[in-house]
Structure 1
Amino acid sequence: MMERAENPFRITKSNNLIDTQIDSLWVSPGDDGDDLTALARPASPMAMFILGGKGSGKSHLMRHFSFQVQQIRFVKNQTPVFSGLGSEGYVGIYARCGGLNSHRFARKNQSDHRWADLFAYYFELWVADRTLEILEALTVAADGSRVDRELADDISKLFDVGDIPANSMGDIRKFLSDVRRKLDYAINNSSLTGRIDAEILITRGKLFFGIPAAACARIRQLEGVRFLYLLDEFENLTDEQQIYLNTLVRETEGPMSFKIGSRLYGFRTQRTLSGGELNREGSEFEALRLDERFRSDSSRYEEFARRLVSRRLSTSFGNDIFEKEIEKLEEYFEPSPDLSAQSHDLRKILPLDSTERRHIAEFKRKLMKGIAEGLVVGPKSTSDAEAIVQAVTFAESPLLEKLSILSAYQHWFRSDDLVEAARRTRDSAESYLSGARNDRFDEFVKKHKGDMVAQILRENSQRQIYSGIKTLIRMSEGLPRALITTLKHIFDWSIYMQEKPFAGGKISLTAQSRGVTEAADWFLEHMLEEGDAGLLVRSSVDRLSRLFRANRFADKPVETSLIAFSVDEVQIDPEARSTIKSAVDTSILINVIGGQRERNSELVSRKLELNTMLSPRFDLPVARRGVTTFSVDQTNAIFVYNQRDAFEKLLADWEAKMTAPYFGRSPSPPQKNSDQRDLFE
């Protein structure tokens, strides 16, 4: 076996990247002013919540704004630090709320009010230390020990006691370190001692607001520069802790601002301590929803994703050819087989004799049963059945066979004369093969081709095909980590199969297929919330996917390429509504902007799509075409956990309505449809 190459996509989480990697792997959607920096507006005085699902790029974006990464940019561009800060308009202080171990500030024989005060105090000391670390470096760059001493004295006066050592910034930092160490000891042992010996030495917000004001007053080079607190992983805070931070956002003053990162489900409250007021989006804060932003412009996201992948490859292989030839990424992947009506690849997986093909034999069996029980209009005898089977048979085109059979099932369901319908379908199909074009039949082929190819593959024990960089980008649904993780699995499989991915060889369809399947399993396990909410979402996803899969592989699917549904959330069970919200907040379900306008009522209901990262897990399509509308009872059957029996009945009804020869109806003879339509569904 060849020596194992290092996987360029091995590290998928930005928390596992060092600062130089954060800088070197940074890409933005474009250079025309609509890039991530412009969207996040780091120098803005208004606070912003940066929201998104796991892996949407929140942490990478926020760390890109941190002072540590700013310094790397300045050195790389040979820009003096103060010139760089002046140009960018901010100095970034990055801190992960998860690093606080915020769960320590609860229970252990202490009141909630006491814990809230202690957390606020500890949090402020913790962020202040990170701010002072940066100010130490800036006072050195300002070349002034006097500035260091005077700034330390100013900061000491922010405390409510007067005995704070203040000869230098180092003294202040040591003092803060000692205070935090004593607090850590008292908090960690409170469950044993039953008490916490601590004093609160500052008024809420004094350090957050006071340190930037003092720094800008003493360091003249910081004039016009904003201190930007980049507080990540907001979801790790309790509701009471979030309320405290919301209060700081509301009471912001001086040359500072907040950028707060959170998963969608983790932004649980907008309450504050300011008289119970709520922070309102557009008033007290802005919101940047990253993955929603990416999904709203698929072409821009594809450009961004290609640049992201190319940067990873260039950095790993030490060759910028990937970025210079970004449009050639597709060439590193084995292409999908020919799936056209004239496909040789499809013929290879089927018996040469059309009569031995499973779909032909199954259609003939159901047709004969329908004739015998009087369930089909038109054919009366075996010879009629043979004529219909012959009409849908195209030895050189399995895809046209499947499409013609689908057309026959559609006409059968409508009680059209099947002999006449099959003849007319034959004429249209033969014209299509000869190169002539009929708008209705062309649209019919385009609409149903994907599902019919999927049926051919499944009937002949072949894997479904998910291949090529464009498909992988589409599947990631605006979540860069999902794309990187998928490529990580594909790369590993390619190496295992002794290929040379991105190094002279193509990544095989097998490696791509196995990689996306592993990534789909990872995605479902990784994205779900802990606890009951995650279990309810998982149960609902399994039910939903069973319906969609039954549709895709049915005789007469209800919808084509079905991965989306619409629902009126007002009337459904509260548990169903809550589960749908959890699924959306964890990106298992994707909210489709604009909703769905219902045909009869003209009302616009919510439209949701199953995340296509899960498509390989359930053999579902990636492209979305059809949308089904679920009634209140159907929605509850899918999204209410204890309605298993109702769901199984719903699934059985769906399968029956889509399956010949009965199509969900009683076995009484159908009435002939005198208004047979000359069109294809």
Structure 2
Amino acid sequence: MDKNPFQNTKASYFDDPEIIKFWVEPNSEENFFKTVVNPDSSIPIRILGGKGTGKTHILRYFSFNSQLLRAKENNQKILNSIMQEQYIGVYIVASGLSVNRFFGRGISEEHWKNIFYYYINLEFIEKVLKKIIVIYEESEISLKFNIPNISSFLFDRECNILELHQMIRKARVDIDKKIAKLSFPGADKTIIENIEPLFDVQDSFYNIIKVVLDSLEEIKNIKVLYIIDEFENFSAEQQKFFNTLLRHPKHIKNIAIRISGRLYANKTIETLDSEEKLLQDSEVRTIYLEDIIEKNFKDFAINLYTSRIKNTLGIDIENIDFRKNFEKSKDANLENVNRITENNKSVSNLEKKYFIKLLNNLNIYHSDKYDVEEIINNISYKENSYIEKINTFLCYQKWSDNLSIFTYEIKEKMKKKDFSLQDVASDKFMWDMIYQLFREYRLSYYYGGFDDIIKVSRNNPRVFLSILNNIFLECSLGTKLNMYTDFIPCKVQNNALLESSLWFWNNFTEDVKDHRAVWAVKELCDFFRKARQSFKPSEKTLISFAYNTNEVSREVNNLIDMAVEHSLLLESSQQRRDNSTSELKRQLRIHPLLSIKWELPISVGGTPVFTKDEVEALFLKKEEEWEIYSSERIKQLNPPFEKKKRNIKAKKIVSNDTSILDLNWD
């Protein structure tokens, strides 16, 4: 198929009809509009989400342009539709206001602030008036009557809505032109300094919009819902103005404000009120999109997949379980284990790569104690190469014990088909051992299957669509497979996932202002990979760490926050309690999509606790110190297994429900 349903992963590339066409309810279990946008709420709301969580699509879907299109689709007048929905969505994008214009060029900071406050008020008023005019013109209702009481706040005379709109627009455009002229050499800065406001900014848009609505019988009880997107693009000083609006809402039955942005959008909680700050929960409520989407992400992803195909290609696949078309990573990886086993049946023990490594280590550290070839023969099990591999791991676990006696016990147990020792080790380290086995035999460790795709997408629609886009490209350009009907091998999915992982790393790190946070995450992933490749991994599926926030500096905590706000690290909702001190630790993990790039697990297992010195060396980019600390930890996982200075183990979980010989390993 030539047309790719998944190539557009950003709502900003959609036109208004496509916003409606490709809309999928993020949470089918509850009314998303009432839960998140919630125009009835008297408390202002901030809607925050990481890059790609669908903020723009969601907010544009509830904007006036979308309301207008939905009314047309339902053969309704927009006035009737607005009366049913009980709100007018006024969508304003910070980048569209070019907010970085309001500084410098010889104009004082104080004067720029006043111009900005006035300009935003003009913008807020103009946007609403324009929409009211559209509503009434479509309904053929005249607006050529004077607005009572408007002169209390504006001008020196009465006027109608059409005249008011023209006056407000003219004033706003006048500021645009004057700011533009300042860009020319030798520009007269008095063109900005001499701007005379049409109204007192303290009266603000709140009062003017209220007077306008009161003059319109048809919509006097409708709520104007201001939706301000990309809040992170406003400076800290500019955000103070909006924080003040949130702190002092007026006419709450008619006007509501919703602020939206990235997780790092809020630069300050200060307001224009002297020493007063915007208080969370009592003065503003913050909603995190990931928390809402997480509740039902798998179903949302399925609906997103089917909607894209149906609306792009006209193919209705709602009754087809497409998830079965994605080969599971478990099946593909176990098939490769069996392939290694078959090839190794004709190979001597001393030629098997995992035994060669063990033999070398035994010769270096234990040649004076044991008959090393006897140890190798004791742990040999030609029927299954994985069991032989896990047996080498058991030897490393018992490195300081008598390996001759220990491996003889293994040999005798295996004769009786008793694999309890291997089962215990496999419960924690099976996939790490399979990963190592594939590295030794130069085979790819595959990620794939619908469940893996959901895990690495981590409640992020753009990440999910990026993966589907890359799978589509792999199918159509490389293998000529039909993504919707053919069985998609793990190899194809794995290539697509790797492309998405590389894209994620490049795309999600570009906005991080302090590169130390990026460096720390990279070093962390490198450390986890070295631990996974070690002879004796100590933690189950190691992709997380914990630390005491009270021990490290504010600078370090801020850098970690930065990594979390850019979705490079994910924070556990539950803190980990230190086994030795009972103190609560902050627990973080790398984003699972980064696991593909670094060949790591995608699920969290054991979590080591990093010391104050380790965390500060890592996040303050003390390269030499971090190299020493991380190397010391890795040395403890490789022969001769130097004793740890601090040993905090994750709780051991043992399950003997599944035998090592069962090919349906979990």
Fold shared per TM-score above 0.5: yes
TM-score normalized with structure 1 length: 0.87
- Asked whether the equivalents of residues 6 and 469 of structure 2 are also in contact (C-alpha less than 8 Å), the reply is yes
Shift, 1:222, TM fit: 2.5
Shift, 1:575, TM fit: 3.6
Amino acid across the alignment from 1:483? F
1:644 equivalent to 2:612? Answer no
1:500 corresponds to: 481
2:641 corresponds to: 663
User: Once structures 1 and 2 are overlaid, which stretch shifts more, 629-638 or 458-467?
Assistant: 458-467
Trace 1:2-41 onto structure 2 (pairs within 5 A).
5-33=2-30, 35=32, 37-41=34-38
1:88/1:324 CA distance change after superposition, 3 Å: farther
Quote the Cα distance in structure 1 between the aligned partners of 2:343 and 2:45: 55
Deviations 1:395-448 (A, max 9, x none): 232222222221221121xx33323333444566676xx6x785x754532321
Amino acid across the alignment from 2:52? G
Quote the Cα distance in structure 1 between the aligned partners of 2:214 and 2:155: 22
- 192, 217, 222: which is aligned to 2:219? 222
- 36, 41, 45: which is aligned to 2:42? 45
Give me the identity figure in percent. 25
- Asked whether the equivalents of residues 43 and 89 of structure 1 are also in contact (C-alpha less than 8 Å), the reply is no
1:674 corresponds to: none
Amino acid across the alignment from 2:181? N
Trace 1:207-246 onto structure 2 (pairs within 5 A).
208-246=205-243
User: What is the DSSP-based 3-state SS (H/G/I as helix, E as strand, rest coil) of the residue aligned with 2:264?
Assistant: helix
1:331 corresponds to: 324
1:475 equivalent to 2:456? Answer yes
Quote the Cα distance in structure 1 between the aligned partners of 2:348 and 2:107: 78
1:421/1:73 CA distance change after superposition, 3 Å: farther
Extract unaligned runs of 5+ from structure 2: 645-653, 657-666
- 97, 114, 118: which is aligned to 2:115? 118
Quote the Cα distance in structure 1 between the aligned partners of 2:98 and 2:345: 63
Quote the Cα distance in structure 2 between the aligned partners of 1:224 and 1:442: 68
Shift, 1:34, TM fit: 5.7
Trace 1:456-605 onto structure 2 (pairs within 5 A).
456-528=437-509, 530=511, 532-533=513-514, 535-605=515-585
User: What is the DSSP-based 3-state SS (H/G/I as helix, E as strand, rest coil) of the residue aligned with 2:35?
Assistant: helix
Shift, 1:48, TM fit: 0.6
2:105 corresponds to: 108
1:621 corresponds to: 601
Amino acid across the alignment from 2:109? D
Deviations 1:282-332 (A, max 9, x none): 11111111124444x4xx2222222222212222221221x333xx23233
- Asked whether the equivalents of residues 148 and 215 of structure 2 are also in contact (C-alpha less than 8 Å), the reply is no
Quote the Cα distance in structure 2 between the aligned partners of 1:525 and 1:245: 32
- Asked whether the equivalents of residues 216 and 222 of structure 1 are also in contact (C-alpha less than 8 Å), the reply is yes
Amino acid across the alignment from 1:652? S
User: Once structures 1 and 2 are overlaid, which stretch shifts more, 303-312 or 617-626?
Assistant: 303-312
Trace 1:389-404 onto structure 2 (pairs within 5 A).
389-404=376-391
1:359 corresponds to: 354
2:279 corresponds to: 280
Quote the Cα distance in structure 2 between the aligned partners of 1:396 and 1:663: 30
Amino acid across the alignment from 1:278? K
Quote the Cα distance in structure 2 between the aligned partners of 1:485 and 1:184: 38
Amino acid across the alignment from 2:103? A
Shift, 1:207, TM fit: 5.3
1:35/1:153 CA distance change after superposition, 3 Å: closer
Shift, 1:351, TM fit: 7.7
1:381 equivalent to 2:370? Answer yes
- Asked whether the equivalents of residues 271 and 279 of structure 1 are also in contact (C-alpha less than 8 Å), the reply is yes
User: What is the DSSP-based 3-state SS (H/G/I as helix, E as strand, rest coil) of the residue aligned with 2:570?
Assistant: strand
Deviations 1:469-489 (A, max 9, x none): 221121122221111122222
Quote the Cα distance in structure 1 between the aligned partners of 2:389 and 2:151: 81
Quote the Cα distance in structure 2 between the aligned partners of 1:632 and 1:346: 44
1:72/1:43 CA distance change after superposition, 3 Å: farther
- Asked whether the equivalents of residues 341 and 400 of structure 1 are also in contact (C-alpha less than 8 Å), the reply is no
User: What is the DSSP-based 3-state SS (H/G/I as helix, E as strand, rest coil) of the residue aligned with 1:92?
Assistant: strand
User: Once structures 1 and 2 are overlaid, which stretch shifts more, 283-292 or 544-553?
Assistant: 283-292
Shift, 1:76, TM fit: 3.3
**Corresponding pairs, count:** 638
1:81 corresponds to: 78
User: What is the DSSP-based 3-state SS (H/G/I as helix, E as strand, rest coil) of the residue aligned with 2:608?
Assistant: strand
2:171 corresponds to: 179
User: Once structures 1 and 2 are overlaid, which stretch shifts more, 23-32 or 262-271?
Assistant: 23-32
Shift, 1:614, TM fit: 0.9
Amino acid across the alignment from 2:41? S
- Asked whether the equivalents of residues 529 and 586 of structure 1 are also in contact (C-alpha less than 8 Å), the reply is no
User: What is the DSSP-based 3-state SS (H/G/I as helix, E as strand, rest coil) of the residue aligned with 1:139?
Assistant: helix
Deviations 1:596-641 (A, max 9, x none): 1111112111000111111111111111111111001111121112
1:304/1:530 CA distance change after superposition, 3 Å: closer
1:669 corresponds to: none
Quote the Cα distance in structure 2 between the aligned partners of 1:286 and 1:611: 27
1:157/1:358 CA distance change after superposition, 3 Å: farther
Deviations 1:320-376 (A, max 9, x none): 21x333xx2323323434444995245368685252221121112212322225xxx
User: What is the DSSP-based 3-state SS (H/G/I as helix, E as strand, rest coil) of the residue aligned with 1:26?
Assistant: coil
User: What is the DSSP-based 3-state SS (H/G/I as helix, E as strand, rest coil) of the residue aligned with 2:259?
Assistant: strand
Shift, 1:577, TM fit: 2.1
Amino acid across the alignment from 2:273? S
- Asked whether the equivalents of residues 338 and 346 of structure 1 are also in contact (C-alpha less than 8 Å), the reply is no
1:349/1:571 CA distance change after superposition, 3 Å: farther
User: What is the DSSP-based 3-state SS (H/G/I as helix, E as strand, rest coil) of the residue aligned with 2:593?
Assistant: helix
Quote the Cα distance in structure 1 between the aligned partners of 2:512 and 2:564: 16
Deviations 1:216-246 (A, max 9, x none): 4233333542111000000000111101111
- 365, 390, 409: which is aligned to 1:370? 365
Quote the Cα distance in structure 2 between the aligned partners of 1:527 and 1:464: 25
Amino acid across the alignment from 2:463? A
Amino acid across the alignment from 2:530? A
User: What is the DSSP-based 3-state SS (H/G/I as helix, E as strand, rest coil) of the residue aligned with 1:121?
Assistant: helix
Quote the Cα distance in structure 2 between the aligned partners of 1:571 and 1:221: 61
Trace 1:108-147 onto structure 2 (pairs within 5 A).
108-145=105-142
Amino acid across the alignment from 1:500? L
1:331/1:37 CA distance change after superposition, 3 Å: farther
User: What is the DSSP-based 3-state SS (H/G/I as helix, E as strand, rest coil) of the residue aligned with 1:260?
Assistant: strand
